[in-house]
Amino acid sequence: MGKNGFWRGTNVLITGINGFIGGNLAQGLLGKGANVFGLIRNRKQDTFLYFEDLASKITLIEGDLCDQELLSRIISEEQIHCVFHLAAQVEVGVAAANPRLTFETNVRGTYTLLEAVRRFPLTVKAVVVASSDKAYGSYGRDQMPYKENYPLKPRYPYDTSKACADMIAQAYASEIYKLPIVVTRFCNIYGPGQLNFSAIMPDAITSALGYTQFVPRGDGSQVRDFIYIEDVVGLYLLIGEALAQDPQKISGQVFNAGTNSPISVREVLKLIYSVAGNKKDFAQVSAAMRRRRTTGEIDCQYMDFEKVNKYFGWKPRHGFKDGLKKTLAWFRRYNEHRFKNASR
């Protein structure tokens, strides 16, 4: 582990590798020379991993995140050094409709993985568990940005599932088990490969490019923070390396990451349609938003990067508009492929 640069030759397991963040992280690790292993639920190929032709460069293992014996075999047989736990049921609407499925994946899946890690303490040197800003629950706008020491007080099913997984990870990092674990709570991540079209960015971008019709889910008054995927991958690599090299220094820590640049959903949509050169359709979206009321979502969420900057010297390199331009360019290429195939 760590020949000619820390990640070169390092065996890394990514859960959720076929998702948006997992695929981008895999790409970053491959670029650093890591040996990447990924747990996937199925062989779905309409993903960033396959679209960017990364799957053939990775050892993919099909199976259930809640299968502890499978996870134990992967860790022991493949001599996994670092784990990035990204697998989750991430759709807020699905969580509301099917909370049990969400709790099974996000909560049970997390403690099943950490139990497998606990069986091989000499093999695994670092575990990074992805929580979410949603785990904090609702705080007043005057209490933003979220700080790592804020109590978690979720209310809705998805938020609760992430908070539970978050606290479980911290328990495994405690003095009882002393596993090398760090928890990350990031704001809304966007960029190439985000193909969950229930999320605002890919949904609105596809509409702004003229492929679909955007249906607002609220009045656009909610405030959010958006961080570009390249910045997130860079931070994950910094955290994983620091944790593996000096676990006593940061194990058990929680790290927030955002841009500290809050923006309303309405303004996000306005920028997307503007950068896409489609201001006409935004006028229709704006009118539709005025007739809607937002329910079941946290009003205001954003984060700064004070702690990660102190520990790792990290700060976001992309402003929202810069990241949006890159994201739109990727979606133009992806949608040409997607809708061309759909019309055959």
pLDDT (tens digit per residue) in 252-266: 999 999 999 999 999
The architecture (CATH level 2) of 11-187+227-258+301-317 comes to 3-Layer(aba) Sandwich (3.40)
Domain ranges across the chain: 11-187+227-258+301-317
Cα 255 from Cα 257, distance rounded (Å): 7
pTM of structure:
0.95
* Alpha-carbon torsion angle 281, 285, 288, 292, nearest 10: 170
Q: Is 158 one of the catalytic residues?
A: yes
pLDDT (tens digit per residue) in 238-292: 999 999 999 999 999 999 999 999 999 999 999 999 999 999 999 999 999 987 7
Task: List, for the chain, all residue ranges whose pLDDT scores fall below the cut of 50.
Answer: 2-4, 344
Residue 27: partners with Cβ closer than 8 Å, 6 or more residues away: 52, 54, 233
> Catalytic one among 111, 136, 146, 158?
158
